[in-house]
Copies of this chain bind each other. A is one copy, B any other.
Amino acid sequence: MIAETQLDKTFAALADPTRRRVVDLLHKRPRRAGELAAAFGMSAPAMSRHLRVLRQTGLVEEDALDDDARVRVYRLRRERFAALRGWLDEVEGYWGDQLAAFKAHAEKTRGKKRT
């Protein structure tokens, strides 16, 4: 039905406010790891781990800079966001009359639960 595990990781990754703000920043243009740490007044190690989480879920990717191999530049990847949209589409899609659906269901199963 849905690729649960991968999606779970995606949601978990985006659940953290800091990581969400990182995505918002990267959405404008790629940035260096240190740049991001500084942007939040956060220590480099902390940011490094946030970036690892984002990297592991595939929301983000790093390329090397020809200029200086020490530098890590992070940028967004589309795929995971597309997957997120896929889940959302599924939930929003078949949005019939929820309450009516329940009433109908309750009608059918009434006998089992009451009297």
Task: Report which A residues bind B (CB closer than 8 A).
Answer: 1-2, 4, 7-8, 11-12, 14-15, 17, 20-21, 23-24, 26-31, 63, 65, 67-68, 73, 75-76, 78, 81-82, 84-85, 88, 90-92, 94-95, 98-99, 101-102, 105-106, 114
| Contact across chains for A88 and B91 when beta carbons are under 8 A apart | no
| Contact across chains for A78 and B102 when beta carbons are under 8 A apart | no
Contacts A30-B101, A65-B106 given; 15 further ones with Cβ under 8 A?
A1-B24, A4-B21, A8-B17, A11-B14, A12-B15, A15-B15, A26-B98, A29-B101, A29-B102, A29-B105, A30-B98, A63-B99, A68-B114, A75-B99, A85-B85
